[in-house]
């Protein structure tokens, strides 16, 4: 039987297969006013298509825990009840298609307040609906980026509380998995890496200090997230820097701690915290990072990164390198990837009754 189309159970939640959708920002929410950060028709259509295509779990894109936590003014948010109501349309439809709805809770940190990628992604000023970014240290992401305001201890505690509040709202919105975004150079990842964290207090310096904020967020979310539902954490396994960066060894060490703090699965990506680094991307190039975490800590992992073919995904799982695969760009190209993969592997997947004539 196909490993890719075996159900997977975490806590009391069973996901129907192991072909999952990675969180990918759409930069398509309302920008300002009472509907800022609210999911609209684009989001419903976008996620509904992948659910109808047989995807077992959909992790909704980075969803900001506060207005200042958005990457761009067009990001989704989950800091108010209007946003919650809009998400209910999406989670309700995903569940009707036998797809588990999950959401990635995020704060962009020093990489906040930028334009949409297709408009260049440059930092935005106040006259363009931008704002002053926050970070662990006054170190800009890149040349031309603003120096972030260094977070105080009180500011750190406030953001920890925002993550907890966002998790409560996510549950109310109908999500069944919450993922804490600790990857790609956003706020939690900025605290993790000595490349971006130059603090000299209890949140900087040693490994234990640099992971403190991440663990505080996880503890706060786990405290309000139901015991029977899974909690994920997304990590950049490496900064791809030769020195003074976050490393794969650090990731394995943190994974063991996350497991102790109630994280059920590590979503293993890489990069994003250092500008202009060279990443040797190729088919499945991040899978070894996930495999090492799984082998050395026993924490379940999902692999991501240029996984495009059904046979490739099947091999990753059957070799024990990961417990699930997360597809990104391939699901943008082909919303029904899971259905096509099931046909290739001789497996079965949910097909909407309206589409049965295509089977």
- The residues annotated with a catalytic role in the active site are 186
- C-alpha–C-alpha distance, residues 216 and 143, integer Å: 31
Backbone angle region of 332, left / alpha / beta, with phi > 0 → left and psi within -120 to 50 → alpha = alpha
31-64 burial, b for 16+ CB within 10 Å, e for fewer?
Answer: beeeebbbbeeebbebbbebbbbbbbbbbbbbbb
- C-alpha–C-alpha distance, residues 356 and 350, integer Å: 10
Asked if 270 and 238 count as a contact pair (C-beta separation under 8 A), the reply is yes
Tokens describing residue 182: 């600790």
Backbone angle region of 109, left / alpha / beta, with phi > 0 → left and psi within -120 to 50 → alpha = left
DSSP-based three-state secondary structure for 194? coil
- C-alpha–C-alpha distance, residues 261 and 63, integer Å: 22
Tokens describing residue 206: 């040693």
Q: How far lies 161's CA from each of 13, 156, 167, 190, 327, in Å?
A: 26, 9, 10, 18, 31
Asked if 155 and 209 count as a contact pair (C-beta separation under 8 A), the reply is no
Summarize the chain as % helix, strand, coil (round to 5). Answer: 40, 15, 45
Centre a 10 Å sphere on the Cβ of residue 319 and count the other Cβ atoms it contains. Answer: 11
């Amino acid at each position: 039987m196909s490993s890719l189309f075996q159900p997977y159970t975490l806590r009391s939640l069973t996901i129907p297969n192991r072909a999952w959708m990675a969180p990918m920002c759409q930069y398509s929410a309302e920008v300002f006013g009472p509907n800022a950060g609210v999911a609209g028709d684009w989001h419903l259509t976008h996620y509904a298509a992948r659910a109808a295509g047989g995807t077992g779990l959909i992790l909704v894109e980075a969803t900001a825990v506060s207005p200042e936590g958005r990457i761009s003014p067009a990001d989704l948010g989950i800091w108010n009840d209007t946003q919650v109501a809009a998400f209910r349309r999406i989670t309700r439809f995903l569940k009707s298609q036998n797809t588990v709805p999950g959401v990635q809770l995020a704060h962009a940190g020093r990489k906040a307040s930028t334009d949409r990628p297709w408009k260049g992604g440059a930092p935005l000023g106040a006259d363009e609906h931008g704002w002053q970014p926050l970070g662990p240290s006054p170190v800009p992401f890149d040349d031309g980026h603003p120096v972030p305001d260094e977070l105080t201890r009180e500011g750190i505690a406030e953001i920890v509380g925002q993550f907890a509040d966002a998790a409560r709202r996510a549950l109310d919105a109908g999500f069944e998995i919450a993922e804490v975004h600790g990857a790609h150079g956003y706020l939690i990842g900025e605290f993790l890496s000595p490349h971006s964290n130059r603090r000299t207090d209890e949140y900087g310096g040693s490994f234990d200090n640099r992971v403190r904020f991440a663990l505080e967020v996880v503890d706060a979310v786990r405290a309000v997230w139901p015991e029977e539902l899974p909690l994920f954490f997304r990590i950049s396994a490496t900064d791809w820097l030769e020195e003074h960066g976050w490393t794969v060894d650090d990731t394995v060490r943190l994974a063991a701690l996350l497991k102790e703090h109630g994280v059920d699965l590590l979503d293993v990506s890489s990069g994003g915290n250092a500008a202009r680094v060279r990443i040797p991307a190729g088919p499945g190039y991040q899978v070894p990072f996930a495999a090492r975490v799984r082998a050395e800590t026993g924490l379940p992992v999902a692999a991501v990164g240029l996984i495009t073919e059904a046979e490739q995904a099947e091999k990753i799982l059957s070799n024990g390198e990961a417990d699930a695969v997360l597809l990104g760009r391939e699901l943008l190209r082909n919303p029904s990837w899971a259905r096509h993969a099931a046909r290739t592997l001789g497996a079965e997947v949910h097909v909407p009754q309206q589409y049965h004539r295509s089977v």
